[in-house]
């Protein structure tokens, strides 16, 4: 399944006869509006920030959850795919991350944090957890096939082997180093952004990424021939 075709979230449950919303300390029932009204509600929310949409979802606006899902799931999936090199696991991480987002929605306060920053941190943590479990339980050969299409069979296999080797090496690093390296070198974020996501100083980020990069180089140096780097 490609990221463009995913319908992950999960978005809030939809009721056939009504929608449960929170109000006055208890759940109330609202009639589900006709399709035209739902589309109008969606258009009215389109210009809102992610944080405002999350607050709107917590207030019971289903269209806000749909918009957030469309905005955020491809981004979360792509981050997980870069870290895990496995489509099925990346989809699971995207679903888990969005579920956590829906769970924190009632307590979200716009302006306290950016939704994307929060999701980067949650997704990175979920991926690192999976990498560590994979390292303990599964051999490298059991990794998933690379995504299609790709330039050619040899290039696909070599690219998949490199991605799997990097994922395995990341799982060997201390957690904070692995997170910093993934955000810097896989996600392409700057040190100030990483500092905000990890809630540490920029100098600490620089130290973590430098140590993590050196550790990765050591871990991968013995596999240069296997991964096809000797001729590069």
Tell me: the pLDDT tens digits for 159-186? Answer: 566 677 777 788 888 888 988 888 888 8
pLDDT of the residue at 71? 94
Q: What is the DSSP letter of 27?
A: E
Cis peptide before 41 (omega within 30 of 0): no
- Whether residue 77 has pLDDT greater than 80: yes
Please report, for the chain, the start and end positions of each structural domain, with discontinuous segments joined by +: 40-221
Residues near 50 by beta carbon (within 8 Å), at least 6 away in sequence: 68, 71, 72, 114, 115, 116
pLDDT of the residue at 88? 94
The more confidently predicted of residues 117 and 39 is 117
Q: pLDDT band for 46, please (50, 70, 90 cuts).
A: confident
pLDDT of the residue at 92? 96
The more confidently predicted of residues 136 and 20 is 136
Residue 200, token pair as written in the block: 């540490």
Pick from 134, 209, 140, 138: nearest CA to 171: 134
Query: Per DSSP, what are the bridge partners of residue 21?
Result: 28
- Whether residue 141 has pLDDT greater than 60: no
Q: What is the DSSP letter of 185?
A: I
- Model confidence pLDDT, tens digit, residues 11-25: 544 323 333 333 334
- Model confidence pLDDT, tens digit, residues 182-202: 888 888 889 998 998 888 999
Q: Under CATH, which architecture does the 40-221 domain have?
A: Up-down Bundle (1.20)
């Amino acid at each position: 399944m490609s990221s463009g075709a995913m319908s992950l979230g999960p978005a809030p449950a939809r009721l056939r006869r009504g929608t449960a919303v929170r109000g006055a300390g208890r759940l109330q029932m609202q009639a589900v509006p006709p399709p035209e009204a739902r589309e109008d509600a969606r258009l009215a929310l389109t210009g809102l920030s992610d944080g405002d949409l999350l607050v709107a979802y917590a207030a019971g606006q289903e269209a806000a959850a749909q918009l957030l899902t469309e905005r955020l799931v491809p981004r979360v999936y792509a981050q997980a795919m870069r870290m895990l090199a496995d489509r099925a696991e990346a989809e699971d991480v995207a679903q888990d991350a969005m579920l956590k987002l829906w769970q924190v929605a009632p307590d979200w306060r716009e302006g306290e944090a950016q939704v994307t920053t929060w999701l980067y941190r949650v997704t990175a943590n979920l991926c690192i957890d999976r990498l560590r479990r994979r390292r303990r339980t599964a051999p490298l050969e059991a990794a998933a096939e690379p995504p299609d299409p790709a330039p050619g069979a040899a290039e696909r296999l070599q690219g998949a082997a490199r991605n799997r080797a990097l994922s395995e090496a990341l799982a060997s690093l201390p957690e904070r180093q692995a997170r910093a390296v993934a955000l810097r070198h896989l996600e392409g974020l700057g040190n100030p952004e990483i500092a905000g996501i990890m809630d540490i100083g920029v100098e600490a980020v620089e130290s973590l990424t430098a140590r993590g990069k050196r550790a990765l180089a050591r871990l991968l140096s013995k596999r240069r021939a296997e991964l096809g780097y000797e001729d590069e």
